[in-house]
Amino acid sequence: MHKEKILSRFIDILLALLILLGISYRFVNMDWDSGALLHPDEYGLTNTLTRLSVPASLGNYFNTRESTLSPYDKYDLDGEKVADGPDNRMRWGQLPMLLIRLISEAINTTGYTELRRTGRYVNALMDVGTLLILFVIARLLFHDRRIALLGTALSSLAVMQIQQSHFMTVDNFSVFFCMLTLLSAVKIARLEIVRRDQTSVFRLTKKAWLWFGLFGLFLGMTIACKINHVVLGVMVVVAAFIAIAEIKVHSKKELNRVIWLGFWMCAFSAGVMVLTFRVFQPMSFRAEMGNTSFFTWQINKDWWDSMLVSISESSGIGGGPPSEQWAHRTPVVFPWINMVFYGMGIPLGLAVWVAGCLGLYRIFRSRTTEWKALLIPVFWSFFFVFFMGTRFVKCIRYMLPVYPTLCLLAGWGLVSLWRRCGGRRRIFPALAGLLVVGGTLLWSTTFVKTI
């Protein structure tokens, strides 16, 4: 028994060291391009951000027609255009621009090269935050330190997460807030969101209001980074279902009341999401004439036009470079191959999907409450891969929001396999773990050497 404890402690320390190594990889050679501006999105974002500034007042922040943080055209009080904006086709969210610009001005790195470097460091730190949230989510779902450490270690060594941490783009920002949203969903799923009062009538609990509200808050911030991540909103329904699935009711009337309370909580999350989006994405709103304030809910035509252009390009209708590269790509299969062979590497890429399929099987066949722990990471991973994998544009980085949850499932699968095997049969899960972890480490280390 003493030897087993020593071995267990050694494995925990080893996994923790792997996590630290993965974090350090995110900060290796942040000047990898020697100022050549090789990433087109980073180039565009840098050009825009260097021409923006943090508004001097809250009024200016919300007054889109003249805001110093809005990339769109400037207008007078009569609604007539008076100046071109830095980027009138900006389609990225405003929250990452606000955070990067705030930090750059705070540490006086607003020059072209300095701002881009600062943005890269901030982007890398956002992914470190993603790893920390993943660890917390794993502990809440499985109550198992080993699964949390292993899943986080695999995510820290995933090549695509390391690569994206070297660019000043909005992807890591959106994944960070996506993980905070999923953390809220996990808390909702574990809550007693409704409880019988003294008269045996079901009532909402205070914690239900808190976590459904936080879900809406973090979802709004996620959408203020990337608008297409609005699909994450489906997870509040999944979480609410888990929370009320096993509540004992004595009549159809009670069942209807529980369902309606769950529905209204989801609606409450949606309302908080809209308000949050309004706060962190003010450039999406503008009055045709006069000033724009927080209470202005008229859509900014410039922003809407940029969304239409983006939709056209991402649907293949727009055509032309660089969209032609996505023509005749097999939906789901093409991004899956990119994820397995490049984004994660073959050992980890295959492991996450074997574990994902096993998790899907366990959800339907498990006779325990294990399905409650698995449903959120399994549903989100499969749902988002199908959603993004069927879009016309199938960039490998567009799958980043599921990398952490898929790595979590790989950690769960390997630990579950170890515990289901006994005696000499444990040689098989041990070898599987060494292959996945060792192969992922080799894959990421080889990649970092090329930076």
Q: Is the pLDDT of residue 126 over 90?
A: yes
Query: Would you state the pLDDT for residue 193?
Result: 85
R_g of the chain, CA atoms, integer Å: 23
Phi, psi of 166 (to 5 degrees): -95, 5
Apex 106 CA angle, 20 and 102, nearest 5: 85
CB 352 within 8 A of CB 344: yes
Q: How deeply is 316 buried, as exposed, middle or buried, from its count of CB atoms within 10 A (0-12, 13-18, 19+)?
A: middle
Cα gap 361→329, rounded to integer Å: 29
**121 or 33: which carries more pLDDT confidence?**
121
In the chain, the amino acid numbered 177 is F
What pTM was computed for the model? 0.95
Which pLDDT band, with edges at 50, 70 and 90, does 174 fall under?
A: very high
Q: Of 447, 405, 381, 398, give the one whose Cα is nearest residue 22.
A: 447
Strands 202-204 and 194-196, by their bridges, are antiparallel
> Is pLDDT of 1 > 60?
no
Across 22-36, average pLDDT: 92
Q: Tell whether the model's pLDDT for residue 424 goes beyond 80.
A: no
- Residue 320 is predicted with a pLDDT of 64
- H helix runs in 112-170, sequence order: 112-142, 145-156, 159-164
Residue listed under structure tokens 């699909």: 231
Which of 130-144, 313-327, 389-403, 404-418 is least confident? 313-327
Write out the H or E segment, with its range, that includes residue 81.
Answer: strand 81-83
Q: What is the mean pLDDT of residues 56-71?
A: 94
Mean pLDDT score of the chain, rounded to an integer?
92
- Note the pLDDT tens digit of each residue in 35-60: 888 888 899 999 999 999 999 999 99
Strand partners, 196: 202
Q: List phi, psi (to 5°) of 285.
A: -130, 140
**pLDDT class for 88, splitting at 50, 70, 90?**
confident
Report DSSP state, residue 191. S
> Average of pLDDT values for 197-224?
91
Q: Is the peptide bond before 429 cis (omega within 30 degrees of 0)?
A: no
**How high is the pLDDT of residue 171?**
95
Do the Cβ atoms of 62 and 282 come closer than 8 Å?
Answer: yes
Query: Which pLDDT score is estimated for 338?
Result: 95
Cα separation values, 44 from 60, 89, 115, 302, 326, Å: 24, 11, 13, 18, 21
Report pLDDT for 90: 86
CA distances 336 to 232, 327, 346, 385, Å, are: 20, 16, 11, 8
Closest CA to 170 of 218, 215, 127: 127
Query: Residue 125 in contact with residue 173, Cβ under 8 Å?
Result: no
Q: Is residue 82 helix, strand or coil?
A: strand
Look at 254 and 210; give whichever has higher pLDDT. 210
Q: Does 316 score more than 80 pLDDT?
A: no
Residue 313, pLDDT score: 75
How does residue 318 score in pLDDT terms, banded at 50, 70 and 90?
A: low
Q: Which residues pair with 74 in a beta bridge?
A: 83
What phi and psi, each to the nearest 5 degrees, are found at residue 58?
A: -65, -35
Q: What is the pLDDT of residue 4?
A: 75
Q: Using one digit for the tens of pLDDT, what is the confidence trace for 335-381?
A: 999 999 999 999 999 999 999 999 999 999 877 788 999 999 999 99
pLDDT of amino acid 29: 93
